[in-house]
Structure 1
Amino acid sequence: MRWLWLSAGALGLIVVSACGENNTTGITGAVPSGAPRDVHASEYHDFVLEELAGGLNHPWSLAFLPEGDLLITERAGTLRRFSEDGLSEALSGVPESVVQNQGGLLEVTLHPDFDNNQRVYLSYARACDEGGATTAVGYGTLNGTSIEHFEDIFVGDACATGGRHHAGKLLFDNDGYLFLSIGDRGEDPRAQDPGDHAGVMIRLHDDGRVPDDNPFVGDDDKRDEIWSYGHRNPQGLDLHPTTGEVWLHEHGPRGGDEINLVQPALNYGWPEVTHGVEYSGEYIGPDEMEGMEPPLKHWTPSIAPSGMAFYTGDAFPDWQGDIFVGALAGQHVARVRFDGTTEVEEEQLLADSGHRFREVRQGPDGFLYLLTDSTDGKLLRILPE
């Protein structure tokens, strides 16, 4: 065990511990020897849950910088930098977002060549000229505590009022294509129209250009940017560590949360097919229909999934290949194991924590990092016991 101290941050950073030689981030603090440790049992690994920071205003997403710092978005429209010195004030240069209901500043991710270009990508709820908001993505360059020269590269034609179902997850695949999820904006039928940007997965080049091999390029009735459609509100996105394929999860209504393997041109069914029902209990549709892709897994009743990471690290060897999913309504972290595309196992972690888990990410140190959804949101880390 290697012991270091973190200095106190502006928003109540506490000291934490780091174990093992595989810890490569700069966030490597410790608690004093003999201090109580929050140890939790699980089927394969006992683990320690440690709080790195508190006082975040509905944190939504995080990204790991090469030197070990983290960038954290707050839905209220701010981007913060977390380091050994604690949480920074809000970074300047961030686009103005429409903060309403589920809308605001959403995802942060880095360009695959960030070391050379310093590009930071942000998705957010952007105001529409005709009122309401849509989901947009753009990038700028990180310079200390500012984002410089931010510009939008894609603004979805998915305007709606009410601030519902922006989705907004971002992911670069192994070929450097950028994926963006956009929810149905609370208007269910839009997800079945590939001439609309609502309820879809978008695929772009890193500068916003449309790849020539997108499935609907050249079809006047469908949008060139769309990769797949029939999605409700996807808020988890990651690459399968072996196949490199894009997996996502999405919110159902009252039940019917789904994990899906995302493939080009396919229709994932919402709202024509679902395992869920309306919040009133009213029937929506069957759970299967020819020509629409069934989920690999569904949660009924709903856990309200948010954030997703395939685990590939060495800190927890018996978790390798498992998916970790945050649960908002379910207030736990789900560990799900698949054999290929068949679910074989599920375990609930931290079910007694009382936290709404918004984000789950694997850090470069092989530990799992979590964000909790609250006006006093927390940055947490899972370490080996």
Structure 2
Amino acid sequence: MKRIFSLLWCVLALASCSESTAKTEEEQEVVSDNFELSTELVLGDRGAIWGFEFLPDGGIIFTERSGKIGIFKDGKVTELAGVPKVAYESQGGLLDIALHPDFANNGWIYTAYLENVGKAARMNLIRFKIENNALANVEKLLSTSATNEWKGHNGSRILFDKHGYLFWSVGEGGKTSRGGKDSPNKNAQNVKELWGKVHRLHDDGKIPSDNPVLPGNTEPTSIYSYGHRNPQGLAYNAEADEVWESEHGPRGGDELNLIKKGENYGWPFVSYGINYDEVDISGKKHEGYTEPTFQWTPSLGACGLTYLTSDKYGSWKGSLFAGALALNHVSRIYFENGVAKEEKILQDVGRVRDVVQGPDGFLYLSLEGPGRIVKVVPSPKTK
């Protein structure tokens, strides 16, 4: 279950995680008056690890954008057979992966990938089980239109909330990406298109009856929120029952959003960023659209997001942690008097693709160049 772990999972996985973690220290940085952070290599020398999850038996299941699904356990990686053919080009490929909340009993695993259809491509959300180290019982739950001609801005993250609803973020796709009222790509505003949205489904892909009826529609669809450019982070605060999303802006204007039912987050009509040719999009005028809780300018390349529920990092409990794919650090977002503030940690750690809280309460990162997973370890500050 994405970034939420039962007590049983924690107990089962804690010992195995500590056993399989190689004690290779990659970086150390003072980030607090009370402790330092270091990273320990868990898994290395892989392709681009887009998403990963901890299994109840202590293993780690992960995706590589090139189209591989692997299981790392006892120091070895087993690659699964039967993975669908993916469009591994531009920003496309095999993306996030998540476990069903009741995975220990039903065995369902969820993933999303870009698939070529003629000269364009579509995003698919599927679920499957594992039999004899291969995908089995594969079910396609939701697909976008096959209209992504440049194969970019696909999203995509997957998570479950405590009610068992499945959330899936999808980028705007289309022919190109440009902000402004005259943008040639308005997928994110088109409620008949699945691109540029955060979707909410039952675990079997059916549409919840209490999903919003959006302007221009007559009944609920899979769309829960819209107006998203390229959302590559989803996190869940179970105590507050909040879904958080992070997305890439254009030149500046990366966003952290609290996802609310039926809300319009504005892309491509509004952004705190500007187009790559320096043409303004909307300035700071966002009337009629939902404002981001926090925005990053310059862009950090927001990718991967988790909500910390453990006490392993002291007062950081309750913070959000966003990966900085472009700026090579982790952004800690915390709140003071209801105002979101940022602290940059693990600077120069590398290109952060995903951030996950493990069943042992520690943070884990997937990094690129080469693909690897590291554990973030706090230790008492040395003089």
Matched with 2:263 is: 266
User: Paired residue for 1:152, among 127, 140, 143?
Assistant: 140
Matched with 1:239 is: 236
C-alpha RMSD of matched pairs (Å): 2.2
Structure 1 counterpart of 2:371, one-letter code: G
TM-score (ref. length: structure 2): 0.88
Q: How does 1:286-305 map to 2 (within 5 A)?
A: 286-305=283-302
Q: Which ranges in structure 1 are unaligned for 5 or more consecutive residues? A: 1-20
Matched with 2:36 is: 46
CA distance in 2, matches of 1:140, 1:155: 16
Q: Say which SS state the counterpart of residue 46 (structure 1) adopts.
A: strand
1:95-122 C-alpha deviation (Å, 9 max, x unpaired): 2211111110001000011011111101
CA distance in 2, matches of 1:206, 1:116: 14
Does structure 2 retain, via aligned residues, the 8 Å contact 1:169–1:180? yes
Give how far 1:22 is off. Answer: 11
Does structure 2 retain, via aligned residues, the 8 Å contact 1:94–1:150? no
User: Paired residue for 1:204, among 152, 177, 201?
Assistant: 201
- Does residue 1:101 correspond to 2:97, yes or no? no
User: Paired residue for 1:73, among 43, 48, 63?
Assistant: 63
Give how far 1:340 is off. Answer: 7.1
Q: Say which SS state the counterpart of residue 191 (structure 1) adopts.
A: helix
Q: Say which SS state the counterpart of residue 187 (structure 2) adopts.
A: helix
Q: Say which SS state the counterpart of residue 116 (structure 1) adopts.
A: helix
CA distance in 2, matches of 1:116, 1:217: 36
Q: Say which SS state the counterpart of residue 157 (structure 1) adopts.
A: coil
Structure 1 counterpart of 2:366, one-letter code: L
Does structure 1 retain, via aligned residues, the 8 Å contact 2:211–2:220? no
Does structure 2 retain, via aligned residues, the 8 Å contact 1:370–1:379? yes
CA distance in 2, matches of 1:123, 1:222: 25
Give how far 1:227 is off. Answer: 0.7
Matched with 1:363 is: 358
- Shift in CA distance, 24/311, structure 1 to aligned 2, threshold 3 Å: same
Give how far 1:148 is off. Answer: 1.1
CA distance in 2, matches of 1:36, 1:380: 9
Matched with 1:276 is: 273
CA distance in 2, matches of 1:339, 1:241: 20
Q: Which ranges in structure 2 are unaligned for 5 or more consecutive residues? A: 1-10, 178-184
- Shift in CA distance, 135/310, structure 1 to aligned 2, threshold 3 Å: same
Does structure 1 retain, via aligned residues, the 8 Å contact 2:323–2:352? yes
Matched with 1:165 is: 153
Give how far 1:289 is off. Answer: 2.5
Does structure 2 retain, via aligned residues, the 8 Å contact 1:139–1:152? yes
- Does residue 1:110 correspond to 2:104, yes or no? no
Q: Say which SS state the counterpart of residue 27 (structure 1) adopts.
A: helix
CA distance in 2, matches of 1:289, 1:36: 45
- Shift in CA distance, 341/92, structure 1 to aligned 2, threshold 3 Å: farther
CA distance in 2, matches of 1:74, 1:37: 22
Matched with 2:49 is: 59
CA distance in 1, matches of 2:298, 2:26: 33
Structure 2 counterpart of 1:42, one-letter code: V
Matched with 1:137 is: 125
CA distance in 2, matches of 1:37, 1:301: 27
User: Paired residue for 2:165, among 177, 182, 206?
Assistant: 177
Larger RCO, structure (CA 8 Å, separation 6 or more): 2
TM-score (ref. length: structure 1): 0.87
Give how far 1:68 is off. Answer: 0.6
CA distance in 2, matches of 1:351, 1:307: 16
CA distance in 2, matches of 1:53, 1:178: 28
Matched with 1:373 is: 368
- Does residue 1:350 correspond to 2:346, yes or no? yes
Matched with 2:180 is: none
CA distance in 1, matches of 2:335, 2:356: 19
CA distance in 1, matches of 2:274, 2:25: 44
Which structure 1 residue ranges, 4+ long, deviate > 4 Å from structure 2? 35-38
Give how far 1:339 is off. Answer: 4.1
- Shift in CA distance, 98/36, structure 1 to aligned 2, threshold 3 Å: closer
Q: Say which SS state the counterpart of residue 83 (structure 2) adopts.
A: coil
Identity of aligned residues (%): 36
CA distance in 2, matches of 1:23, 1:205: 27
- Shift in CA distance, 269/31, structure 1 to aligned 2, threshold 3 Å: closer
CA distance in 2, matches of 1:191, 1:131: 21
Does structure 1 retain, via aligned residues, the 8 Å contact 2:13–2:55? no
Q: Say which SS state the counterpart of residue 167 (structure 1) adopts.
A: coil
Structure 1 counterpart of 2:30, one-letter code: A
Give how far 1:83 is off. Answer: 1.1
Give how far 1:48 is off. Answer: 2.1
